[in-house]
Amino acid sequence: MTDYQRACPLADLPETGAVGVVVDGVPVAVVRSEGQVHAIHDVCSHAEVALSEGDVEDGEIECWLHGSRFDLTSGTPTGLPATTPVPVYPVKVDGDDVLVDVHHPLNTTD
């Protein structure tokens, strides 16, 4: 059972980068990197800042505040100070729209 909802137009995404949106009340960073579209919770696991304001490179997004990087596929931090994964969500492109299912994260964050 999936619950995809419209997150943003595909055209809103930079070639490499993120946009912050809210899907069903959940902050989501919709990210394009290396031709792939990803959806990751738009709150760093280290402090309450938006990951969508950070840089995107090589399939990772970097928190602008302290520099932790998170793998866009797994949500796993690849560098300190964050040690807890960030939820990542199923995402698909439907025509001109990006759809995200915020109710069924792909990873566990415990």
**Interacting residue ranges for ligand FES, rule: CB under 6 A:** 44, 46-47, 49, 63, 65-66, 68, 81-82
Measured from the CB atom, the residue of 49 and 106 that comes closer to ligand FES is: 49
Decide: 54 and 62 in contact? Cβ < 8 Å. Answer: yes
Decide: 43 and 27 in contact? Cβ < 8 Å. Answer: yes
Measured from the CB atom, the residue of 37 and 82 that comes closer to ligand FES is: 82
Measured from the CB atom, the residue of 18 and 82 that comes closer to ligand FES is: 82
CB of 47 to ligand FES, least distance (A): 3
CB of 41 to ligand FES, least distance (A): 12
CB of 66 to ligand FES, least distance (A): 3
Decide: 64 and 87 in contact? Cβ < 8 Å. Answer: no
Q: Which residues contact 70 (CB under 8 A, 6 or more apart)?
A: 40, 51, 60, 61, 62, 63, 76, 77, 78, 82, 85, 86
